[in-house]
Amino acid sequence: MKMRKVISLVLVCLMLMMLFTGCGGKAPAQNSEPASSSGATENPPAEKPSENKEPEPPTANTSGGIYKEPGEELQDFYDAVNGALGVFERAVNSFESTDFELDARGDHFALAGDIVGIVQYDYIEPGDNAKEVGQVAKGDAVREKKGDIVNESGTLDISSNTLVHEYKTERDGAVVSRTVSEVVMSEDGTFIAQTLKKPMLPRDDRVKDRGHAWFIRCSKNELEVIMAYFEPDVNFNYNIRQKFEIFYILHYN
């Protein structure tokens, strides 16, 4: 008899456990969104812009981290070059030499001075036209200004941060001066540049007629400038095979 009571108690306990197990679990979470039908789109409709919300400004090209405003890439590239060189301005200005031909200050910014003209091509502005048409004494008149013909051309590849720039002056159908610069800047701000320049014939007979070359490597902590000369030919080839006479090497860090 006692055995039956024990078995009955065990069965009752088991039933109670099964009952509590089935009813004591958490209820499934309720979804406040109505279930989508088979014909409804999976993506929700685009949110309508608020009337008071200001439009977002256009995204600037940030290739290489030096471009800030679309349409002003030439200005931004020049600013990056000029800014990198400017870090060493104090060190260059404190350099002293008894050699009158050694112009550390001028050679330091020789590249920046040659490419500063590229900035104007970010903007369209009327210039001093070589040919003007107008009215004189109630009649048609044309005035043509004679003089040197200046030609400036180049390309800036913002995907590789590479600038190639050429500036030349023609007089009486012949090129009398020519400058070519090539600048490559990496994403960390380090740039490598070379500038070849054949200036006009010197008016002073004591000054030797020759081409000038600058090779520059500039990083955040180091500046190296190599100044060299080459044969006075405006039709120089702009490649590594050009023959140079190294004049001096300046190193700052």
pLDDT band, very low/low/confident/very high, at 253 (cuts 50, 70, 90): confident
Residue 41 has pLDDT above 60, yes or no: no
What is the token pair recorded at 34?
């109505």
The CA distance from 127 to 130, in Å, is: 9
Nearest Cα neighbor of 99 from 227, 231, 224 is 227
Residue 9 has pLDDT above 90, yes or no: no
More confident residue, 13 or 158: 158
Q: What is the pLDDT of residue 77?
A: 96
More confident residue, 67 or 31: 67
Q: How many other β-carbons are positioned within 10 Å of the β-carbon of residue 177?
A: 17
The CA distance from 181 to 82, in Å, is: 14
The CA distance from 242 to 231, in Å, is: 9
Q: What is the pLDDT of residue 8?
A: 44
The CA distance from 3 to 204, in Å, is: 132
Q: What is the pLDDT of residue 213?
A: 93
Q: Which residues pair with 51 in a beta bridge?
A: none
Helix (H) or strand (E) holding 29: none
Strands of the 162-171 sheet, one edge to the other = 149-157, 162-171, 174-185, 191-198, 211-218, 223-230, 245-252
The CA distance from 115 to 110, in Å, is: 9
Cα–Cα–Cα angle for 81, 87, 91, nearest 5°?
Answer: 125
The CA distance from 158 to 174, in Å, is: 33
With tokens 């870090």, the residue in question is 87
Q: Name the DSSP class of 31.
A: P
What separation in angstroms does the CA of 242 have from each of 36, 58, 175, 181, 212? 73, 45, 20, 14, 12
pTM: 0.65
* Per-residue pLDDT tens digits for 212-249: 999 999 999 999 999 999 999 999 987 766 788 888 78
